[in-house]
Structure formats: C-alpha cells, structure tokens
Amino acid sequence: MTDWTEKYRPDSLSELRGNNKARDAVGKTSAAHALAADEEWPTIELNASDSRTKDVIERVAGEAAKSGTLTGGSGGRRLLIMDEADNIHGNADRGGSRAVTSLIKEAGQPMVLIANDYYEMSKGLRNACQDVEFRSVSARSIRPVLRDICRKEGIEFEDDALELIAEMNSSDLRGAINDLQALAEGRDRLTADDVVTDERDTTEGVFDYLDTVIKEAGAQEALEASYDVDETPDDLINWIEDNMPKDYHGEELAVAFEFLGNADRWLGRVRATQNYSFWRYAADNMTAGVAAARREPKGGWTRYGPPSYWSKLGRSRATRDKRDYIARKIADANGVSMSTARREVLPYLATMTHHCKNRELTVAMTARYDLDAEHVSFVTGSGETTNKVQSIVED
C-alpha cells in the first residue's frame, strides 16, 4: 500500500498548509521539495548520519552544489537539501559545520538546510543562511488536508471523525495523515466512533504489552509481543520509558535504561537515514533488552499511563528556558552537546529523581549541576516550595 504522506506530499509551495513563511512534521522537507517542483529543479538530499564528516560533505554535497548538469532542470540548477543541519556536531561530524558554512558561501547552486533546533547550529552557519521559521501546524489547518485526501480516495466521512484525528495530532500533519490511512483501511466510510474505538483499543493493547515486557516475559517473548502492538518503535520507547520505573528499581533500572539508550540511538539512525530496517535493532533493545534486565517477575497491578511529561516540554517559552538552562549546566559539566544533554541525559535524571524519592541521587545531581530550587522542581516534578526540595538545595 502506498504511503499517503508521500502520495499526497505537496507538489507546489501554494499547496502547503499551516506555514506560509520548527518542529517535526510541520512541512519543512515538503516545502523544500515543493520549491524544487515549482522551479523544475531536481533535488539531491543529504541526511544527518554518524558518518557526516567534513570529507563526506565536501565530496557529496560540494560537487552537487558547485556544479550544474545539462539535465539539471531550469538553467542547469539543482536544489541541495540537507536535513537535520542542527545535528552537525560532535566527533562524528569533525569539521562538518565549517565545511557546510564554506559550501554555502561558495555554492553556485541553491541550498536548503533544515533544522528542528535553530540554535543548535553554529553561529557561523546561522549567519551564512537566511532563516525561515516554520510554526506548528494547527488542527484547523490539518482538517482540510484530511478532507481532500478522503475525497480523492473515495472515502465518505463524518466531519467529527476528521476533527478528532486533527485534534489528536495537532502540530503533526504527517501523524494525522498516517492515522487517517490506518483508520480508513478496509472502510469506505469513517465515523467518529471508528476513531474513538480505535484509540481505546490501541491504548488497552499497549497496557497489556507493558505488563508483558516489564513484569513477566522473557527476552524472546517480549520481542514477539511487540509485533502485536499497533505502535511504532518511536512511540513504544516513550511508553516503556515513562512506565518502567514504576516496577524497576536500582541496578535493574540502570541496566534497562542502558538498553533504552541503545534503542534511542538506533531510532536516531532511522530518523537520520530513513532506513527503517534499523527499527528491528531498536525493538531488540527496548523489548528483549528491558525484559532481560529484570531480576525476577513483578507481581501485582501497576497503574500504567500514556507518556505525557516530556511530550509537554517546549510548549511554553518559560518551560523551554528552564529546560535549556538545566541542559546547559549538564552539557558544561559533562562535556557533551546541548542536544545530547536534552535528549539523552535530562529525561533519565527526571525519571531517577522523580518526586525526590531517591534523595541521595537528587542531592548529588543538584550539587553537580549547581541547580536552585526552581530547577530541581522542574527536573523532579516536586513543588518548588516544598520542604524536601528546599532541604535538598540547602544540602
């Protein structure tokens, strides 16, 4: 079956929804391809990867950007699209940022650099580009896209059904189209009840899956259980990460987080290369690995819930400022990038110090990163003025 997100990718800038001028799935890559289509330029893409060094960029992107071809579209031009430009950092990208900056200044071809976090790009790279900000796509902008797709696919629909899909995926047009395609499969009419029932069934299935992986299954059984859950590895890792600390403690929790860290790295490679065969390695770590970390079966009932805390981060300027302040402290103390601190260190600290239950660890974290009560409260989820937060800061 054809992926509808590709089938209905905009063919022109005029077809873009919700962005006339960042974050994931708001249309940045689609806008670049639409620009190329409008100008009749062929495209060359280079995605972020572990091997994106100065030599790779100069060899692949340099030749593409500096030279035209007889078949290169209008005027011999072609558009170079470099995705995840904010990830050009660290040992794997030695000299990469400088190479891209030089390339932009020397290129005889148009280039588009795409980034989710503008300020993770080097200052020199930012100054060499003209920035165009993409805002989150509202549910109001998503609904007409879903209506158009339904009409083209010959699917009757209730307006309330599309309203629900748009609201559940507000800011994520790609996710909304994927949900629509999944719900429409085998149906010639889509109702609001179809959407509500599907969401409820999926959630119940995930809870059963969490019970299997976290409480009782061996490594192989846990891996096989993931095949029956209607969630992508990108979603499953968030479910597991949020709920695992409710049953795992101490060394087994630390080992399980190591496996989740490995899974997250494989998911990063999927996003960077669009090679979805890497999903199986992520699944091995987040299911079989997490199950193998368990020392003994976990009895009783646990109140699992959908991932929520970290998905809410970044929705307000004040929240982003607190998050980035702490990430900067972590980055400076550990010699890592801001991106690594935000994505790989801060979530684990939040889980391990949740509500200051591990007081010794929370005190050590506070001292190492020189945090005040406001930021300890942010990481742990405990009230800023509570006695336990105040005493931790004083210690």
**Rounded distance, CA 132 to CA 16, Å?**
14
Q: Which residues contact 121 (CB under 8 A, 6 or more apart)?
A: 85, 86, 88, 97, 113, 115
Query: Would you state the pLDDT for residue 47?
Result: 62
* Exposure letters 109-119 (e unless 16+ CB within 10 A, then b): bbbbbbbbbee
Q: In this predicted model, what pLDDT tens digit does every residue of 17-50 receive, in sequence order?
A: 555 433 444 567 778 888 888 888 888 777 654 4
Query: Would you state the pLDDT for residue 15?
Result: 58
Query: Would you state the pLDDT for residue 22?
Result: 39
**Rounded distance, CA 299 to CA 296, Å?**
9
Please report where in the chains the tokens 């998503």 appear, as a residue: 142
**Rounded distance, CA 188 to CA 343, Å?**
41
C-alpha 210, offset from chain centre: 21
Topology at the third CATH level for domain 28-127 = Rossmann fold (3.40.50)
12: number of CA atoms within 13 Å, CB side?
Answer: 3
Query: Would you state the pLDDT for residue 61?
Result: 58
In the chain, % of residues over pLDDT 90: 6
Q: Which residues contact 311 (CB under 8 A, 6 or more apart)?
A: 238
Query: Would you state the pLDDT for residue 313?
Result: 46
Q: Write down how long the chain is.
A: 395
Query: Would you state the pLDDT for residue 50?
Result: 41
Q: How many CB atoms lie within 10 A of CB 3?
A: 12
Query: Would you state the pLDDT for residue 48?
Result: 52
Please report where in the chains the tokens 């010639």 appear, as a residue: 188
CATH 1.10.8.60 corresponds to the domain 139-199: yes
- Whole-model pTM: value is 0.41
**Rounded distance, CA 377 to CA 355, Å?**
8
Query: Would you state the pLDDT for residue 155?
Result: 92
Q: Which residues of the chain have pLDDT under 70?
A: 1, 10-27, 47-76, 87-96, 136, 170-171, 196-205, 230, 274, 308-318, 320, 339
